[in-house]
A = this chain, B = another copy of it.
Amino acid sequence: MSEASVTAVEGNPPQVKRGEGVAYVYEILRNEIIELKLAPGSPIDETDLSQRFSMSRTPIREALVRLAAEGLISTLTNRTTIVSNIDFLQLGSFFDALTLMYRVTARLAAGNHSEADVAAIRAHQANFSRAVDERDVLAMIATNRDFHIAVAVAGRNKYYTDLFRRLLDEGRRILRLYYHSYDDNLPRQYVVEHEDMIAALIARDVEESDRLAVAHADQIVRQIRSYISADSRSASSLTL
């Protein structure tokens, strides 16, 4: 019923102290959900978690409430709570919002960024580039997300940054689902596109930043779409 690797007691119960317990559990569970270590739809048992983290159920519960508020888990009243499913029917909405956030954050960043922002963005881009060099797909997904968050932060609009972060994390879940078919050419192209975006941003060229953001978003949407259709094609070939 419960997978040993996930449910097992933490090797080093890292002695979190008063007031940090909830944040600790929240961070770990959040990562496990986004990285699909906890499969969508799988049930979450509070008692299990409380044993795993060597804590009472109370802080566990609060962490779960936070995750539920973010939409990462769904709680059925008086019944079990499960990891939220990836809603493929809403994929159109997702792409739409994602593209819009790419655009507005790029535009704002071009207008509002500071020196420090550029340094942060470049650091993340370096990490992303390294991940591509090392063909570390999981690291690519994570560092790519961090790069775009840094751009959003440079845009100085917390409402956009917030939504963008959620969208990008949801994107991480979807990409994890399909990363096995990752194309070797695309990552290189993403590195180049990121560099172009940085250049336009430094030049404070809002319109060019916007154009590049649209192109980048289209590229990513196309990539995910192709993964999904490839996936469904192989499935349908099985049934014939």
> Residues on A close to B: CB < 8 A?
18-20, 58, 61-62, 65-66, 69-70, 77-78, 90, 93-94, 96-97, 100, 104, 108, 156-160, 162-163, 166-167
Contact = CB atoms under 8 A, between A and B. Distances in A.
A158 B100 contact: no
B19 A97 contact: no
Contacts of A70: 69
B158 A93 contact: yes
Contacts of A61: 62
Contact of A78 (B18, B94, B96): B18
Nearest to A98: B159
Contact of A104 (B66, B100, B157): B100
A97 B159 contact: yes
Contact of A19 (B65, B66, B77, B90): B77
A90 B167 contact: no
B159 A167 contact: yes
A163 B167 CA distance: 12
Contacts of A156: 93
B93 A157 contact: yes
Nearest to A166: B159
Nearest to A58: B58
Contacts of A58: 58
Contacts of A90: 158
Given A90-B158, A97-B160, 7 more contacts: A19-B78, A65-B65, A65-B69, A93-B156, A94-B159, A97-B159, A100-B104
A90 B162 CA distance: 14
Nearest to A18: B78
A77 B97 CA distance: 34
Contacts of A162: 163
Contacts of A97: 157, 159-160
Nearest to A68: B66
